[in-house]
Structure 1
Amino acid sequence: MEITPVHTLNLSGVLSTSKRIIRANYSHFLALSLFFLPLSISLVITPTFHHFAVDLFHNFPQNHKAVSSHLLYILIIYLSTLCAIAMISYSTYHGFVGKQVNFFTSLKSLTSSILPVIITAIVAHIYLFLISLTFLLFVGVIFTSAQSLGFVIDYNSIHFTIFSVVVVATLIAIIIYFHLNWSLAFVIVVAESKWGLAPLIRSSYLVKGMRSVSFLLLLYFGIFIGIFAWLFSDTMYPPTSSSQSFLGFPMLGSFFLMLMFLRSSASNTVLYMYCKALHGELALEIDEGFDHHYINLPSDEEKVPQIVSVVAA
């Protein structure tokens, strides 16, 4: 086996390691990323056909079937996205420690992981809703108290606008903070067979010392996904353009978005492994006889396990 030093535990190290794992099994990961296609298409194509939905609701305001179909469409996108995250996390996790992965094994893993992933997602959404509601209620109490004390609030003043911007920015910061703490939750569900609140608590523990890397990953992929979604949507190529632009560019954009979601999920799994290394837990994932400062990775060219040293930044 070849011994190759890895990048330190930073953004560059996470991205390069995830890229190495994907390249070693590119066709496998490409097949799994197809589960991201509904989400990718919805981010690009849906704005293009938005006027159809507007006409539908305008002409049929009482059409409950139309509303139900849209809700079903959103549910399908959400479930396919969770399936993609679960399978890509499973494959990246096993690829990280040098184990062989294939499409059917990853697909089979859904039977034991998809329900815990869904439950964990629901728990996370409930907690985020309660946290957001508590914050907004707190802001409401401040407004009510100010008015009861005789303060006159001018909703058209620049001061109220600034205050509103601060409130919204604070709420976004709170949501991002909890997202960073829980960023490893789905990987933990797949790798450690935990579900519900337990993966959220476990993720908050593991991500300590690596929140900056988690934030940079969120920023990195968030910017690129946002740019691709904007460039290939009807913002740049409206329906009045040629048919080639109307169909070709959105589909090309959907493909690029699909690959970005793939890289994001794989990188998040690598981050999980790096967090375990930082907490001295990676030795449990390595074959007996290896020191915990070493991990197995598939080689780029030969697709065989490769020993790579892990060092903290």
Structure 2
Amino acid sequence: MADLLPHSHALTFCGVLSESRRIINAHSRHFLALSVFFLLPLSFSLIIYPTLHSALCRPDSISFYASRFLQSDPTRTRPDPDGDSPVFFILPLVYALFGFLVHLFAVSAISYSTFHGFYGRPVKLVSSFKSLLFSFLPMISTFLVSKLILFSIAFLFSLLWLSALKGLELAGIEVDYDSNYFYAVAIVSAALVGAVMLWLQVIWVLAPVTVVVESRWGFGPLMRSANLVKGMKGVALSLLLFFNLAIWFLVGSCATILLHVGVARGWWGWAVILQVVISAGLATVLMLQGIAATVVLFMYCKAFHGELPFEIAEEFAGDYVSLPFDEKKLPYVVYVT
């Protein structure tokens, strides 16, 4: 059977990236349109928001950055933020709502299109936009449940930490909050909580896809994702770290340069504009690839656990799973390790 099938993808990090890239290239105009609608505005806003926030909420900080670069005055101190300005509170809330909704729409629409593109089905913008109507509330409910769980874990840890300190004080043991030992214990404890949070993010990585593809909501997608990702946690962790670190490094570095260098040389300078455009474009590509790769990982996890539909599952032969694709009428093989 393997000799008859010219393409094969192992259930690995590179295999997931390769298949997601193939799907995007097969429907390039469709995914380009979705990226322009959702991901490009999100990427652009992430880059310019720090500068916009400083200009509107802390105009004195703009003079601070300008003096640092134009007047070479490193001794000038940073001005305190104007906490009395309504914009100081309203702008972050408005931007957070905008970013959350745009990201939710992007994940829903792109996941829907990638899922159908995986099977070689035709993808249409109208169908992708219609999918938002059915996945919007389930996505919000799943998001709220996940954040409630994370908040509960953080709250319980904080409660245990404070209880331990209070117990030591009641026992007559003086706690030196400035000692290196206390700092070491605090760092180890924070690292432990961070590891738990990261582990939850790994096992929940398929939850958004489950909402869109299987019409689940609330706690259901989280449990479904945790079950599917068993045996594939290494790939899931690699995808999560690779795309998140790459995107935030790219966006963070460009936003920092824009905030500092843009003040000194002018935000409308061609070099600054070019850098923002290139960074926003690269961040958009990474976001698109990351969402598509998550959908492919979802399908590969189903193949790994033997949960694909009967017409695909019956193609099992030895250690191989045959997946139907109609691009150039050539089937693909997923190797289950």
Q: TM-score, normalised by structure 2?
A: 0.84
Amino acid aligned to 2:306:
G
Cα distance in 2 between the residues matched to 1:249 and 1:189: 36
- The equivalent of 2:44 in structure 1 is 41
Instruction: Check if 1:312 corresponds to 2:336.
Output: yes
1:172–1:257 distance in 2 versus 1, CA, 3 Å: same
- Post-superposition shift, 1:245? 2.7
- The Cα offsets for residues 133-183 of structure 1, whole Å up to 9 and x where unpaired, read as 112212222222222222222111111221221122111111111111111
Instruction: Check if 1:241 corresponds to 2:265.
Output: yes
Aligned counterpart in structure 2 of residue 230 of structure 1, from 213, 234, 252: 252
- Post-superposition shift, 1:39? 2.9
- The Cα offsets for residues 24-51 of structure 1, whole Å up to 9 and x where unpaired, read as 1111112112312333123321233342
Unaligned segments of structure 1, at least 5 residues = none
Contact 2:57 2:87 in 1 (8 A): no
Cα distance in 2 between the residues matched to 1:305 and 1:264: 26
Aligned counterpart in structure 2 of residue 255 of structure 1, from 281, 300, 303: 281
Contact 2:43 2:280 in 1 (8 A): yes
Contact 2:313 2:321 in 1 (8 A): no
Amino acid aligned to 2:261:
P
Segment of structure 1 superposing worse, 164-173 or 176-185: 164-173
**1:294 counterpart SS class:** strand
Cα distance in 1 between the residues matched to 2:176 and 2:19: 54
Aligned counterpart in structure 2 of residue 269 of structure 1, from 275, 295, 299: 295
Segment of structure 1 superposing worse, 54-63 or 167-176: 54-63
- The equivalent of 1:55 in structure 2 is 58
- Post-superposition shift, 1:199? 0.5
Contact 2:204 2:225 in 1 (8 A): yes
Aligned counterpart in structure 1 of residue 321 of structure 2, from 290, 293, 305: 293
- The equivalent of 1:106 in structure 2 is 128
Contact 2:228 2:305 in 1 (8 A): yes
CA RMSD of aligned residues (A): 2.3
- The equivalent of 1:20 in structure 2 is 22
Aligned counterpart in structure 2 of residue 184 of structure 1, from 185, 206, 223: 206
Q: Which has the higher contact order (CA 8 A, sep 6+)?
A: 1
Cα distance in 2 between the residues matched to 1:172 and 1:183: 16
Cα distance in 1 between the residues matched to 2:198 and 2:99: 22
Q: How does 1:144-183 map to 2 (within 5 A)?
A: 144-183=166-205
- The equivalent of 1:82 in structure 2 is 104
1:305–1:98 distance in 2 versus 1, CA, 3 Å: farther
**Greater C-alpha Rg:** 2
Segment of structure 1 superposing worse, 124-133 or 51-60: 51-60
Unaligned segments of structure 2, at least 5 residues = 61-79
Aligned counterpart in structure 1 of residue 113 of structure 2, from 77, 83, 91: 91
**1:235 counterpart SS class:** helix
**2:93 counterpart SS class:** helix
Q: How many pairs align?
A: 307
**2:230 counterpart SS class:** coil
- The Cα offsets for residues 44-73 of structure 1, whole Å up to 9 and x where unpaired, read as 212333421442697864444652343122
Amino acid aligned to 1:36:
L
**1:183 counterpart SS class:** coil
Amino acid aligned to 2:227:
Y
Contact 2:58 2:81 in 1 (8 A): yes
**1:238 counterpart SS class:** helix
Cα distance in 2 between the residues matched to 1:206 and 1:38: 32
Contact 1:228 1:257 in 2 (8 A): yes
1:39–1:311 distance in 2 versus 1, CA, 3 Å: same
Identity, in percent, stands at 35
Contact 2:247 2:283 in 1 (8 A): yes
- Post-superposition shift, 1:114? 1.5
Cα distance in 2 between the residues matched to 1:66 and 1:51: 9
Instruction: Check if 1:137 corresponds to 2:165.
Output: no
Amino acid aligned to 2:215:
S
Cα distance in 2 between the residues matched to 1:72 and 1:298: 44
- The Cα offsets for residues 270-311 of structure 1, whole Å up to 9 and x where unpaired, read as 000011001101135x56975582112353xxxx45311112
Cα distance in 1 between the residues matched to 2:133 and 2:142: 15
Cα distance in 2 between the residues matched to 1:61 and 1:231: 26
Cα distance in 2 between the residues matched to 1:203 and 1:159: 39
